Each structure stands twice: as C-alpha cells, then as structure tokens.
Amino acid sequence: MLAPMEDVSDPPFRAVCKDNGAHLMYTEFISSEGLIRDAIKSKKKLDIFDYEKPVGIQIFGGDEESLSLAAKIVDATNPDLLDINFGCPVKKVACRGAGAGVLKDVPLMVRLTDAVVKSTSLPVTVKTRLGWDENTKNIEEVAERLQDVGVKALTIHGRTRTQMYKGEADWSLIAKVKNNPRTSIPIFGNGDIDSPQKALEYKNRYGVDGLMIGRAAIGYPWIFREIKHFLKTGELLEPPTIDERLDACRKHLYGSVKWKGEKLGILEMRCHYASYLKGLSHVKEFRTRLVSTDSPAEIEDIFSSLLEHYTNGIITQVQTAEIAA
Ligand SMILES: Cc1cc2nc3c(=O)[nH]c(=O)nc-3n(C[C@H](O)[C@H](O)[C@H](O)COP(=O)(O)O)c2cc1C
C-alpha cells in the first residue's frame, strides 16, 4: 500500500505508483475543519480517479462534529474507504488535539472514531502510532477499542509521536497487536520498509496482513512492483532504466500540470526531481537546470539530454535514510 503523505500522495504521484504495482493507496490527510469550511485546498484533495482504485481518503481532526460532517463529505466522493489519521506528529496537528495528539486520550479517540463510523457507509480504517511516547505505548488497548467501535483495518507506524521519524521503527508491538487473539481486523505494518528483502523479512517475522510504504516510494515508485515480484518469486527485478525513470518523472510532471495548472504543477514538481534522479552520478547540473526553469519545452530538452547522457545507466534503489536526509 502507498502511505498517505502530505504534499506527496496526490493524484499525479499516485498514478505513477499505480502503474508500478501499488495496490491500495491513500490520499494525503485532509483537514476535517477545512472540508466543512469548504476550503479549496482541502476540497481539491478529495479528487480521486477510477484508474487508481482501490483508494482511501484520509481525514484528521479532534472534534466529533467536524469529523462526522467531514465523513459525510468524503462519503459523497465514493472512495473505497475512509481512513482517520491518529498518527500525525507535527505540532500544528498533534498539539491541537488531532493526529497523534489523540493517542493521549483513548476515550476521545473512541468517540471520534465512533462518530465517523456512524456518519458513513464506507469501511472506516485508522492509521496511528505505537503511542504518544516511550512510556505510554498504548497501541494494544487502542487496537482493541477501535475494533470494538467498528474499524475495519488498522495501520500501525512503529514509532511513537515523540520519535517523529527518528530511530528505527519497532515492529514488535505491531506483531503483538496482530497476534492478540482478540484481534480480528487486518493489521497493516508501516515504518522503514525500503527494499523487497526487508518487505519479505518483516512480513514473515511480524505476520502483518499488509505493508504500507511511504518514503521509499518517493521518486522510486518501482518499489511496489519489486516487492510484489520478490514475494511471489524470491527473485529481484532489475532496477528501472533511465528511460523508465524519465517516463515516470514525465508522467508525474504532466499529471501535476493537468491537476494543479501549469505554473503550480511545474513549481511543485521541483521537489521531486532530486528523488527521481538520485543515484545518478554527476547529476547536479541537470537537477539545477530542472529546478530553475518553468518552461515545459526546456524541461523536455533537459530530459532528452539526461537520456542521452545516461542511456543504459541503471540506478540502484535508494535507501530510505538517504531519501529522508
Ligand atoms: C512527507 C511526508 C508526509 C506525510 N504525511 C502523512 C499524512 O498525510 N498522513 C499520514 O497518516 N501519515 C503521513 N506521513 C507518515 C507516513 O504515512 C508513514 O507513516 C511514515 O513515513 C513511515 O513510513 P515509511 O518509513 O515507509 O516512510 C507522512 C510522511 C512523510 C515523509
């Protein structure tokens, strides 16, 4: 599954992930307050397309009424499921009683979830973390109580809120939730999967029902097909060629232009070139040119030069730590 990622998991990016084997995909998180205020930015994030199904829309909020109204709005857009974010660690969300902030108050989490479940006919899933901090890892209780109010699947990111994205994700508690005899819903594991080998190892070792992948897919949507192939055959696929890299990058770019308009589409694509080109030696000059132009024709010229320069160059998969850096 493709993880929900703000400013990343938008329709243009989801399209290239779908092409390369992502199964279930999630939108970026959407503010429930924004949706009910009819904020353009929030509404735009509801855009989903038939070719990308199954797709889940993720919302966040800390207020029952807002989440409930937002759930009704989501319902009308007809995704395959509605996900509630109880995992966002950033201050402006978690310290205002939403996202991972809700992990501090399990009864509130239960009430919020119950309100959403009762407001939609869609399957409701939740994505959360192990707990607020090292001393309050309450995911086992959280999982049981969310299941009891009708959540249909749970994704657990193996970190606490205070860890943010630092350190190594701890999947042992995820496995504990999965192995709890009271757990009957699917449990999806998340955190640090960045290679087919690790995907297989974690799937077997922790027994989860699905793997969710975030950072490793940024600029490397082939991670999905590589993992699927490895799980099925035990063999590693060849990494993408430079042509495949540029084709995906181009599709992402034109998708962005179509969805966001030329100016914004080109501007926001600038933060993705580095990841698509990561691993190529001496690529800095091309990258600098790509992020300095707003002309589609010039971007195409740079793509042509890249193709000429690196033909037959195979780029190996970049590890998550490198991407995060
Ligand atoms: C740029 C970025 C944006 C993110 N936005 C969201 C989000 O909107 N909703 C959410 O539930 N998690 C969000 N996350 C967390 C990811 O979904 C995921 O839990 C985390 O990156 C760990 O998985 P990974 O190691 O595979 O990247 C975000 C992560 C990143 C790096």
- Name all residues whose Cβ lies below 6 A of ligand 1: 3-6, 8, 28-29, 58, 85, 87-88, 127, 157, 190-193, 213-216, 320
pLDDT in tens, 180-201: 999 999 999 999 999 999 999 9
The yes-or-no verdict on residue 324 having pLDDT over 70 is no
* 3 Cα to the center of ligand 1, angstroms: 6
The torsion angles phi and psi of 91, rounded to 5 degrees, stand at -50, -50
The dihedral through the CA atoms of 197, 317, 164, 147 has a sign that is negative
250 by DSSP, 3-state: which? Answer: helix
Best residue for ligand 1 mutational test, from 1, 2, 5 (most atoms within 8 Å of Cβ): 5
Cα–Cα distance for residue pair 317/182, rounded to 1 Å:
39
**Atom of ligand 1 at shortest range from CA of 193:** 26
The yes-or-no verdict on residue 325 having pLDDT over 90 is no
The torsion angles phi and psi of 221, rounded to 5 degrees, stand at -65, -15
CB atoms within 10 A of CB 311: 10
> How high is the mean pLDDT of the chain?
95
pLDDT in tens, 237-264: 999 999 999 999 999 999 999 999 999 9
Range with the poorest average pLDDT among 36-45, 215-224, 310-319: 310-319
Best residue for ligand 1 mutational test, from 160, 170, 215 (most atoms within 8 Å of Cβ): 215
pLDDT at residue 312, as a whole number: 59
Give the H or E element holding residue 129. strand 124-131
Give the H or E element holding residue 25. strand 25-31
The yes-or-no verdict on residue 319 having pLDDT over 70 is no
* 163 Cα to the center of ligand 1, angstroms: 13
Q: pTM value?
A: 0.95
* 13 Cα to the center of ligand 1, angstroms: 14
Share of the chain above pLDDT 90, in %: 93
Residue 311's pLDDT band, with cuts at 50, 70 and 90, is confident
The CA distances from residue 105 to 108, 132, 136, 159, in Å, are 5, 10, 11, 18
Task: Indicate which residues carry an active-site annotation.
Answer: 88
The yes-or-no verdict on residue 230 having pLDDT over 50 is yes
**Atom of ligand 1 at shortest range from CA of 213:** 26
The torsion angles phi and psi of 145, rounded to 5 degrees, stand at -75, -35
Burial environment of residue 172 by CB neighbours within 10 A (0 to 12, 13 to 18, 19 or more): exposed
Strand ranges across the sheet with 210-212 = 25-31, 55-60, 81-86, 124-131, 153-160, 187-190, 210-212
DSSP 259-288: HH-HHHHHHHHHHHHHHHHTT-TT-HHHHH
The yes-or-no verdict on residue 223 having pLDDT over 90 is yes
CB atoms within 10 A of CB 50: 6
Burial environment of residue 40 by CB neighbours within 10 A (0 to 12, 13 to 18, 19 or more): exposed
* 237 Cα to the center of ligand 1, angstroms: 26
Residue 273's pLDDT band, with cuts at 50, 70 and 90, is very high
Cα–Cα distance for residue pair 262/256, rounded to 1 Å:
8
pLDDT at residue 143, as a whole number: 98
**Atom of ligand 1 at shortest range from CA of 28:** 8
If you average pLDDT over residues 278-284, what whole number do you get? Answer: 90
If you average pLDDT over residues 307-316, what whole number do you get? Answer: 71
pLDDT in tens, 54-103: 999 999 999 999 999 999 999 999 999 999 999 999 999 999 899 999 99
**Atom of ligand 1 at shortest range from CA of 191:** 25
* 73 Cα to the center of ligand 1, angstroms: 23
The yes-or-no verdict on residue 314 having pLDDT over 80 is no
Preceding peptide of 54 cis, ω within 30°: yes
Cα–Cα distance for residue pair 229/12, rounded to 1 Å:
24
pLDDT at residue 229, as a whole number: 98
Q: Whose CA is nearest to atom 19 of ligand 1?
A: 157
